[in-house]
Amino acid sequence: MKQFFSTLFCWLGRIRNFLINGIFIVFLLVFVSAIFSAQPEVPDSAALVIEPHGQIVEELELPAPGALPFDFSFSAPNQTNLHDLVEVILHAAHDDRIRLLVLKLNDMEKTSMPKLQELRRAITTFKSSGKMVIAVGPNYSQSQYYLAAMADQVFLDPMGVVALQGFSIYRNYFKAALDKLHIDVQLFRAGKYKAAIEPLIRNDMSDADRAANKVLLSVLWDAYKDDVADMRGIKTGRLQSLLDKPATFLAKYDGDYASLFKAEGLVDELADYHAIENYIAGAMGLPSGSSSDYASIDFYQYRAATASELPVAKKMQVGVITASGMIVDGEQPPGMVGSESMIEMIERARLNPQIKAVVLRIDSPGGSAQASEAIRNAIVHLKASGKPVVVSMGSLAASGGYWMAAPADEIWASPTTITGSIGAFGVMANFEKGLEKLGVHTDGLGTTSIAAGIRPDRSMPPQLNEVMQMAMKHTYRRFLSIVSDGRGMSVEAVAKLAEGRVWTGVDAHRLGLVDALGGFKEAQNAAAKLANIEADYSSVWIKPPLGLREMVLLKLFGNADAFASDLLAQSASVFGFALPASLKLDIDQYARILSLSSGRPQIFTLCDTRVSP
């Protein structure tokens, strides 16, 4: 009997291994086939469907790795690359196979004004080719509506809403909560406007921060209203009144939002899905009722299908390096700006003889002062090799982001870019009183007054307190000097614009912190002009080297190629993809700042201005 069960379990184990290996091989074959399958083709007389998913970003974040070197237990990023979108729309403008553009925006998340304006320029080029743009959606958020307003025909569901509400800046403030927890926060800062740490030491917004934010919001909101008014042919005053007194306007339509939006000219037609599909078919020259017959291709498929049609790289090149995310030390994945990662890419640009100039695309709130300085030094070294460096600012290029930008030959910003924030701060948290309340006490001895270093369970030694104060002032003076040298301004003039205050691009241009207002393409042209190659050049993206895992993940989640939609759906059920939380400086980030107090002293150049629609 014992032998029987032993043989039975042995065969069951073999069958199990056979099934598992068989399933793995089948999956692997499907996976490889999907990656290396034939490129999709662009049908003749087709509608190009632009349907951004999640956040629109400068650089796609890769899913965090699992425990194994090639582990698939990851979360898929819910993002769309801005530059891929722009490239596709511009290519389609001159593609005779594309008849019109359909904007389906209901999956697009909140997007900053500079990115929206980059997309607007691309859609304007598409419309100038004589092709039609149609926007469809059951509802529109404020970001979604900005792009929809570009369309020749804006459709809204009869039960839909255009959720315009304006811009705001609100934060959670934790001083009272920290007091209740008996956590002492010791602050070191240079700059009265440096608001990133205010939530740790206040219960409300300071007057200085409120004054600066009022100016900032006014510029951003005026830009949004002016653009929408221009695109829709309505008056900015009317739009302001509508949002100041929505109940008054809505009462005239018995609570029917959709009818109100149509009457005010925000949308053109109220229609359901089938009516919209019939309209698109008619716009493409098909008979009424043939909505299922018109040809279409989505953004991902179109980019994959036209990859071979892109211009061949030329001998004279402008290298493009993306610095997107928080600035930290060491090597970091896409979505973070690691000092070593950035230096490696800058060095590759310096040593490549075909690259004659570099555009540094910055979209960062700042971060570590030490990491920012290391990257700045690499940029100075790049310039010393004779290659011009032009900075193109995205949504946010402040604090450490501006520190990196300062030595550039030219700095370009969008009128609505948030920049400046020239200041520095450090935060040390002390849990000694809270621990004592719990009956936990700290005692000991050391060979010097600072031997214990900085510990979260004991008060900072007076000598270290003075050291941090002096180091903060030194960092601030260093920041002022860097900006002074880079911008050709006196230290005194820079100091008047500093104090940690943030500026919009239009104000930064007026004050001399940036050289010109314009988008990414204008910055590329400026770099080519400085290198005297504007007559014949191409751009090349410089990216960190990727391992096998990263290359596969980019294939899966990047916009470079498209999988069939059913395969993606099956992958979602197999892997259990989850959407990552949005990266923002909130409670988690403040907790991270506090946690750094247990290590070596940290000095941050960080901007915490988040504008919410």
Strands (E), 455-566: 502-504, 516-517, 538-542
Between helix 207-232 and helix 113-128 the angle, nearest 10°, is 10
Catalytic residue among 141, 368, 399, 414: 399
What is the rounded distance in angstroms from the CA atom of residue 559 to the CA atom of residue 54?
Answer: 13
Catalytic residue among 194, 225, 262, 387: 194
Which H or E run contains 190? strand 184-190
**Whether 399 is catalytic:** yes
List, as one string, the DSSP characters of 275-331: HHHHHHHHHTTPPTT-GGGSEEEEHHHHHHHTGGGSPPPPSSEEEEEEEES-EESS-
The separation between CA 307 and the C-alpha centre of its own chain, rounded to angstroms, equals 24
Three-state DSSP at 464 gives helix
Which distant-in-sequence residues (6+ apart) come within 8 Å of 504 by Cβ? Answer: 215, 216, 219, 220, 415, 416, 417, 418, 419
Q: What's the token pair of residue 465?
A: 């307190």
What is the rounded distance in angstroms from the CA atom of residue 102 to the CA atom of residue 124?
Answer: 14
Strands 184-190 and 424-430: antiparallel
Which H or E run contains 346? helix 339-351
**Whether 339 is catalytic:** no
Q: In 3D, which of 342, 346, 344, 338 has the Cα closest to residue 387? A: 346
Which distant-in-sequence residues (6+ apart) come within 8 Å of 355 by Cβ? Answer: 317, 318, 319, 349, 387, 540, 542
What is the rounded distance in angstroms from the CA atom of residue 464 to the CA atom of residue 352?
Answer: 45
| Ramachandran angles phi, psi of 391, nearest 5° | -95, 130
What is the rounded distance in angstroms from the CA atom of residue 452 to the CA atom of residue 460?
Answer: 9
What is the rounded distance in angstroms from the CA atom of residue 104 to the CA atom of residue 297?
Answer: 13
Pair 405, 425: CB distance under 8 Å: no
Residue 128: exposed, middle, or buried by beta-carbon count in 10 A (0-12, 13-18, 19+)? exposed
Residue 394: exposed, middle, or buried by beta-carbon count in 10 A (0-12, 13-18, 19+)? buried
Positions annotated as catalytic residues are 194, 399
